[in-house]
Structure 1
Amino acid sequence: MWTHARWQGRFLPHPLAPGERLRAYATWCNAVEGNTTFYATPTRDTVESWARQTAPDFRFVVKLPKPITHERRLLGVDDEVRSFLDTIEPLGPRIHALWIQLPGSFGPTDVGALAGFLRRLPRSYGFAVEVRHRAFFDDPRSVRLLEKVLTEAEAEWVPFDTVAFFQSPPTSDAERDAWTKKPRVPRRSSALTDRPIVRYLGRDDTARTVEGWRQWVDTVAEWLREGRSPTVFIHTPDNAEALTLARRFHDDVRAALPGLEPLPEPMPTAATEPLTLF
């Protein structure tokens, strides 16, 4: 995500060597969704580069690969999990949580597979589970069942809040594309652990995005007062302004909690290396 084309030259220096792009992103935000690992496991050398570019307290929420979560549905994947964890090991304390995003077809009858899978994961990691089956939002029994399994494993339930996004029809190509792909589920704002994680999807219109996150500002501020350490990811359909929006959300929370530390100062957008012809 830190190489998003719409940010190059606007928020992040351009051109910039691949081994410096995450470092530049980390001056804007102190956490990142490791979404690329869902589609392909990086090389260990690549992961070592990520570690060199970030401070030990930078947060990676690393998504487990698609073959583990969607194709094998958490069954018979011990070897694949061990291989993946070995690859990301260089991140060390930067691994804030292993992100287990499950397909929309993964429902209450599959919770046993999730429970067994979580029991086999090393306790040195934090776990964050994202579900999309409607029963986990509409059926109280299914909600209680999932919460029980997650609580026993000390795992967090990751809400993907799309309520503001679906409040009115799309108005751009990016919104129309997201309209057909993103889950339409009720908002959930309860934390199960001391490290809650929130994913929020707004609109390409900044004012509507900000209006839609008002409840999260209050919730995150309350979590901080309780001694929790939340992580919040701000998205829009085109993500063109995601970096500035993330910092604006952080500023809104700081307005409620002035003692909250500010984010780092962004790196200047001037290129760090001279252009050459040869």
Structure 2
Amino acid sequence: MWSHNHWQQSVYRNSTQQAERLARYAEVFNTVEGNTSFYATPNVQTVQNWYAATPDDFRFTFKLPKTITHLKQLQDCSQELQDFFKAMEPLIEKTGVWKIQLPSSFGPEKLSVLTQFLDEIPQGLNYGIEVRHPQFFAKGDAELALNRLLIERGINRIIMDSRPLFALPPADEAIIDAHKKKPRLPVHPIATANTPVIRIIGQTDGTIEALATTNPRIQIKNNDSFFSNWLKQLPIWLREGKEPYLFIHTPDNQTAPELAIRLYKQLQLQLANELPLRDFALPKPQHMPNSQLDLGW
């Protein structure tokens, strides 16, 4: 997301204008998940505003509407596809990955439906598919067939890493809600195309208050152990010339920007002498003392 009331100081530099939030966000990060398109296709003016708010090298990732992926489950949706991409046309050049998130009910028996759907979507664009059916994570014939299809079509398999989330006790409403909504599935770090997509559901401030720790900024350090394997995998993909997309969520998303910066800096240190990465940094909140800004570096 790029709009969150809690980010007034950390991302928006105390700007109170809702319309400025995307532009402020794009000054810090270079990609975002446009989740709103999952619930409704934006109108033309909104799409043009998003384009104008971001620099040329900024990359969106938009989910296809749930009408296509969940209600119709990729069948008989040619008109919906046409309407969606017509509305999103101004942002095609700034969209790095078009995400096809499938429900847990979309299982191996529907791979033929997926194959046909991949013939119908606009060609020449970069797609990622997120599956949630357990058989696609069982390392059996179903997963092999899915991976083979994605590799043949040059489509990325979106990887959800919810281990940090499910390592938390149900200590507050945000965590309980996330436990209900997010999938608890194995993490298979496979790159089926050139832009692997990783979504990490990390731990954050709300957890800290619930567990009565003393420093709310310290809790994000608990994510480090879950990120350690990614510090090994991401450099491999980068050396191979791949362009990974890494998105950080938390149950309440309040400190997701700080967590994203922290994990990115670890990767930056890992590759300092080999593959220099651009800097990302949050603006310094004017009302907070330096001691509260220490993210552990």
Say whether the fold is shared (TM-score over 0.5): yes
Residue 242 (structure 2) aligned to one of 216, 220, 228? 228
Counting only pairs closer than 5 Å after superposition, residues 67-78 of structure 1 correspond to structure 2 as 67-78=67-78
Displacement of 1:208: 1.8
2:203 counterpart SS class: coil
Task: Give the corresponding residue for 1:181.
Answer: 181
Task: Please report the TM-score for the alignment, with normalisation by the length of structure 2.
Answer: 0.86
1:122 aligns with 2:119: no
| 1:261 to 1:168, Cα distance in 2 relative to 1, 3 A | closer
Residues 165-213 of structure 1: CA distance to partner in whole angstroms, max 9, x if unpaired?
2234232221111111110100111111111110011122312222211
Residue 254 (structure 1) aligned to one of 268, 278, 290? 268
Task: Give the corresponding residue for 1:136.
Answer: 136
Displacement of 1:216: 1.0
On the 8 A contact 1:61/1:98 being kept in 2, the answer is: yes
2: CA distance, partners of 1:203 / 1:21 = 24
Displacement of 1:269: 5.8
Counting only pairs closer than 5 Å after superposition, residues 151-166 of structure 1 correspond to structure 2 as 151-166=151-166
Unaligned runs of at least 5 residues, structure 2: 205-218, 287-297
Amino acid at match of 2:242: R
2: CA distance, partners of 1:10 / 1:223 = 30
Amino acid at match of 2:91: L
On the 8 A contact 2:194/2:243 being kept in 1, the answer is: yes
Counting only pairs closer than 5 Å after superposition, residues 1-20 of structure 1 correspond to structure 2 as 1-20=1-20
Counting only pairs closer than 5 Å after superposition, residues 1-278 of structure 1 correspond to structure 2 as 1-204=1-204, 205-258=219-272, 259-266=275-282
Q: Give the ranges of 4+ consecutive aligned residues of structure 1 lying more than 6 Å apart after TM superposition.
A: none
2: CA distance, partners of 1:262 / 1:208 = 25
Task: Please report the TM-score for the alignment, with normalisation by the length of structure 1.
Answer: 0.92
Unaligned runs of at least 5 residues, structure 1: 271-278
On the 8 A contact 1:175/1:203 being kept in 2, the answer is: no
| 1:146 to 1:160, Cα distance in 2 relative to 1, 3 A | same
On the 8 A contact 2:135/2:142 being kept in 1, the answer is: yes
1:55 counterpart SS class: coil
Displacement of 1:235: 1.1
Displacement of 1:264: 4.6
Identity %: 36
Residues 23-64 of structure 1: CA distance to partner in whole angstroms, max 9, x if unpaired?
100122111011111011111111111111112221111100
Task: Give the corresponding residue for 1:274.
Answer: none
| 1:87 to 1:267, Cα distance in 2 relative to 1, 3 A | farther
Cα RMSD for the two superposed structures: 1.6
Q: Size of the alignment, in residue pairs?
A: 270
On the 8 A contact 2:248/2:260 being kept in 1, the answer is: yes
Displacement of 1:16: 3.5
